[in-house]
Amino acid sequence: MKRIQIVRIILIVVAAFVIFGPLSSLVIWSVAEKWYWPHLLPQQVGGFYWAKVFQGRMVQSLEVGVLIAVVVTALSLLFTVPLGYVLARFQVPFKALVLLIFMLPQAFPQLPVFANATVYLYRWNMGAKVSGVILIQMVGALVYAVWTMTAVFKSIPVSLEEAAINLGASRIRTFFNVSLPLAIPGIIASGLLVFLYSLDEFTGTLLVGSPFVLTLPVFMYNASQGYELPVASITALLLMVPGIVLLLVMERYLKAEYLSSFGRI
């Protein structure tokens, strides 16, 4: 029995080291004002770089990133809620192909996909603009939204809609009064997934938005390229906060029925 407890403690310590080890280096770098080799710990710690981050363009990049994420989330849900319902409820010709088309951007490396898309966006005068970044992020966001919303409506019993139709309700009224209210938790979960994706998206934003559209991931990349590791570490820590909060919220709304429905889409 003692051996089992010792093994369990060792596994917990190893897991904690794997999870929190990289995070601890971010915390140390965020307060390191002087840290030179071969010292294991910083020679001088303080909040100099924290003040520098909040006085610089970090706040502006956060505001731009949140604005883009909100718009991308709203547009994705506006498009995929009705599409997910249609794919879940009706015999759509080539439905598997339609879902596969939305999955294709994730089937290839993002860099060549976004690089080719960037060429066309600049031709349409959408390069280095927020509108271009929103459009390029929609490419990846629709993957999460379409598949999630189709699974959400697939998990809602058809018998509830049939009962409403038998009582005289039209198909549209049934959708708004029966299906849509039941799908609200799934819509929230899908929206959170898209929001997190947009907030953390880097490749497309860098290619399309540079040098004028600056989000937190791009800001962190620029800081790391300039070897400002304290600034990059602080930005990484700040970028983790909304992700952790939203993932905890999403855990409440992302039901097991939605995940099990992926295999039956």
State pLDDT tens for residues 184-195.
888 988 898 899
Burial of 52 (0-12, 13-18, 19+ CB in 10 A): middle
pTM of the model: 0.83
Same domain, 133 and 21: no
Same domain, 200 and 93: yes
**Domain boundary pick from 46, 62, 82:** 46
Same domain, 141 and 42: no
Nearest residue to 200 via CA among 48, 66, 12: 66
Same domain, 103 and 223: yes
Q: Is the pLDDT of residue 212 over 90?
A: no
The CATH number of whichever domain residue 256 belongs to comes to: 1.10.3720.10
Q: Whole-angstrom Cα distance, residue 238 to residue 245?
A: 12
pLDDT at 257: 52
CB contact set of 27 (below 8 Å; sequence gap of 6+): 233, 237
Same domain, 148 and 234: yes
Nearest residue to 257 via CA among 196, 175, 189, 172: 189
Q: Long-range CB contacts (< 8 A, 24+ apart) of 160-165?
A: 161/89
Q: Is the pLDDT of residue 105 over 80?
A: no
Same domain, 12 and 84: no
Same domain, 125 and 181: yes
Same domain, 57 and 38: no
Q: How many domains does the chain fold into?
A: 2
The total number of residues written for the chain in this structure: 265
Same domain, 70 and 167: yes
Task: Report how many helices (DSSP H) and strands (DSSP E) the chain contains, helices first.
Answer: 13, 2
Same domain, 240 and 114: yes
| Distance from the Cα of residue 22 to its chain's centroid | 21
**Domain boundary pick from 9, 28, 46:** 46
Q: Whole-angstrom Cα distance, residue 83 to residue 27?
A: 44
Question: Domain residues for 42?
Answer: 1-46
| Residue 28 vs residue 98, higher pLDDT | 28
Q: Whole-angstrom Cα distance, residue 215 to residue 209?
A: 9
Q: Is the pLDDT of residue 256 over 60?
A: no
CB contact set of 245 (below 8 Å; sequence gap of 6+): none
Sign of the alpha-carbon torsion through 9, 10, 15, 17 = positive
Same domain, 102 and 188: yes
Same domain, 102 and 130: yes
Q: Whole-angstrom Cα distance, residue 204 to residue 200?
A: 11
